[in-house]
Structure 1
Amino acid sequence: MSSALFASTLESPVGDLLLLADEFGLRALYMEYRRYPPIAADWQHDEARFARAKQQLRAYFGRELRDFDLPLSVVGSPFQKRVWDELLRIPYGETVSYGSLARTLGDAKASRAVGLANGRNPISIIVPCHRVVGSTGSLTGYGGGIERKRWLLAHESGEAQLF
């Protein structure tokens, strides 16, 4: 039996964000580009449920917050959840390569699997998949689009315009 889903949107410097939650916490944060699903008729609108997440996102975009403190309710395979947990450990303003992340997880040959799990991260920005780059530091694929990844990294380094 699935739990009720709640939805809300937030304007941001990277476009409108769609936030989804269940009774346990934030379940997804989608950017309007490519990964922004249509709002389903059975999703409930509940602004109070998202007040804390929106406040923290605004603070992040205003460079007043570096680490989110929100209850998360991610759905994924055990391997995906391990990758997403490691993403949460990447410090604000820093990047790691897919290979480095694979080595941290104990399998240097798993960089492709790490990339796939990274690409399926349902809670972008908060679970900072944008901080993972290619082995040469290149900006490789990003579900929100390379320009948004570039902006998020520039934002964290202090080079992008404030919200």
Structure 2
Amino acid sequence: MYAYIYNKFSDFDILILASEKGLTYVDIYRNEDLTTYELNHPIMNKYIKVIDDFFKGMMPDPSIFDIKGTVFQRKVWDEVSKIPFGKTIYYQELANKIGSPNGSRAVGNALGKNPLTILIPCHRAIHKNGDKRGYSSDERLKFELLAFEKKLSDK
């Protein structure tokens, strides 16, 4: 496994992990023990570019992901990935879109297990009352990402 700490967005350090097959994890860096990973290996260059491109408004090709999840989680992650930059969706809407009208809580749980925070844009899911709280990574990151994407999409 390979690792890189990306620190080009706000004051957040974003940990990127990858295998030979693809991206396995993207989230806030919180002093994880990285001794089992090879830091800054050349293989990471293409994944750093993916993150750079994301911050330019480009969504990654999911074929570069090397992640595990249940069938339900994958349905949720696939659907949330269709939400354009600067837009949000209610958990209930997301549940309806995947054919689980009573599953808004399960959708929230699936988003909470998203291994590719930012790239699978779970930050774009909000509560029906407009509440943007609730983000498995860092609520401040959710607010900053939504504001950043809104500004990017308004250009």
TM bracket, shorter-chain basis: 0.7 to 0.9
Counterpart position of 2:22: 25
Q: How does 1:5-154 map to 2 (within 5 A)?
A: 5-11=1-7, 12-32=9-29, 36=30, 38-61=32-55, 64-69=56-61, 71-154=64-147
* Deviations 1:13-41 (CA, angstroms, capped at 9, x unpaired): 25111111112100000113xxx461343
Number of residue-to-residue matches in the alignment: 150
Q: Which amino acid aligns with 2:24?
A: R
Contact preservation (8 Å) 1:14, 1:148: no
TM-score by length of 1: 0.84
Is the 2:54–2:119 Cα contact (8 Å) retained in structure 1? no
**Aligned-pair distance for 1:91?**
1.0
Could you tell which deviates more after superposition, 144-153 or 46-55? Answer: 46-55
- CA RMSD after TM alignment: 1.8
Deviations 1:41-90 (A, max 9, x none): 322234322212212322433xx333223600111222111111112111
Q: Once superposed, which parts of structure 1, at least 4 consecutive aligned residues long, lie more than 6 Å away?
A: none
Higher helix share: 2
Gaps spanning 5+ residues in structure 1: where?
none
Ranges in structure 2 where 5+ consecutive residues have no aligned partner:
none
Q: CA 1:51/1:150 → structure 2, altered by over 3 Å: closer, same or farther?
A: same
